[in-house]
A and B are shown apart, each in its own frame.
Chain A
């Protein structure tokens, strides 16, 4: 049985992996099994920093032979080490799951001995969990780059989601900060799995990675601009059919090197990147519309406002007739509100008061819309911008980091962006 001390060691460092999502899979329970997966994902608790706890995020081992500078578990760092056996992990998962503490397992590991050795243990754990313990809940497995291809593919048939972390936004940074890793070793399995995933989908095979692949990169440990990061993100979605790209703000980990910044990145940058990511995935924006390669996202207003301010020629739009894809481009109108508007205007013509009632964020939207031809926003660009910055400051405190988890972000699709 895993004791408290090892549990602590093996979960402390796993927490920086930001993806905690349990969504995207609708795995069913089997006759004698335990568990199933919910398409929308389920949060089971929230930490003091307001992040969702959904999966048991744990490392099989934190004994690493690699030496990535940004990581607490790197070989040269002096930290307590531990590992768990596949069966210990299985028992913990089952016991937590039955008590409804968790939605499933997020299993990862440091590179113990070699990539193949590590992947073998990971694979053994998930196979055991599914076959011996009859577990049908959610499993997210971290793939080990450089491990045997067949082993990786086999794992894909047992788990709901897999991720190979891209780690850093450019090959140059990767070489500098994670010398044993290479872009090729990360992208090759990602693309193999993507091909397999697409083929499985075509055959209606629901058991191969039903929730697809995701990846994660550290932001702020290296000098890339937001523009480059968003372009990379867009490319990853297109090329590898990824479900999500996660950003994780760099947190200093007692490293004595001038290669890394000494201060952590503010959460605001991470938040802006997630907002931009939303525009890519749901709002029909392209990376080039959002910003140029060498630019950073505006910190004073969200990316949708920033885009709208640059394209005042497309506004104001008439809420009573604008098509839905234009409505969602209006700052202060999100998916849910756009949907409400489209449905409600079938009953009667809408006025400003109706929009208030539907929870359109009027202090943002008012400068970009007309209601029955009436406009009541500010006519001058600069004053619009100033007011948007003011509106932004009053909402930021609560909103930060909401976008990192799809389970909770559905609550903000409403009018926030």
Chain B
């Protein structure tokens, strides 16, 4: 009965896998960061080592190529605390059986893994639509608070779309900023408050947008449940039409 504690990065998980295979021991779970183990659980701290990680990484590539690698680690962006455990066990099985098991939908870990990955992909797709920019002096600014850590997955879409413009996308939950200067994108951690100055036209377009939004609803067909399903209420605090 033991658990691994690592830094929660891809490399951290890879090093846990290395320990597991070399020391021939299988954990109950894998966690990162602040975590309270149960009384009877021994905690093994795994230090991240780039070289070891690289070796295990190439082992995984042998099981299913580069595409397996990116798919495998996607759930690490999830907000669920079982993310590291799930990634660990799916990777463990791939390495053990020397094949890609990510489509074995009878395996509970695979199912959880697919579920977390699907939720992340869905959130990225949703945010391509739900994100709202404000025109500010100096560029466009959007704030949002996604469930998962996706700001750097969401931003490239807008870099393609608004190719010549500057913009900032602000994940207010994690204090992350995706900054686009019109040429390249980078993600930075930012703890200080962000102040923006709205352009003179901004208020007017917000009003027009709200007018439009209200006028396209068909009153006689109200179906809030359906609306809640597609557009979760927690997202609305960042969206212009619900202010």
Contacts and interface: CB of A to CB of B under 8 A. Distances in A.
B217 A4 contact: no
Contact of A408 (B218, B223, B230): B230
Interface residues of B, number: 55
Contacts of B162: 34, 98
B106 A401 contact: no
B183 interface: no
Given A2-B208, A4-B208, A100-B142, A398 B226 contact: yes
B128 A42 contact: yes
A99 B134 contact: yes
B132 A100 contact: yes
Interface in A207-255: 251
B125 A42 contact: yes
Interface stretch (A5-13, A279-287, A293-301): A5-13
Interface string A1-36: 110100110011001100000000000010111111
B175 interface: no
A324 interface: no
Q: Which secondary structure dominates chain B's binding surface?
A: helix
B161 interface: yes
Interface stretch (A47-55, A145-153, A171-179, A194-202): A47-55
A343 B230 contact: no
Interface in B184-206: 201, 204-205
A43 B212 CA distance: 15
B67 interface: no
Interface stretch (B8-16, B42-50, B97-105, B145-153): B97-105
Contact of A48 (B105, B222, B240): B222
Contacts of B133: 98-100
B108 A57 contact: no
Contact of A344 (B104, B126, B140, B204): B104
B230 A50 contact: yes
Contacts of B218: 15-16, 47, 49, 51, 251
Interface of A: 1-2, 4, 7-8, 11-12, 15-16, 29, 31-36, 38, 40, 42-54, 56-57, 92, 95-96, 98-101, 103, 137, 251, 264, 267, 340-341, 343-344, 346-348, 350, 354, 357-358, 397-398, 400-402, 408
5 smallest CB-CB distances across A and B, nearest first, come from A50-B226, A344-B105, A343-B103, A49-B221, A47-B217
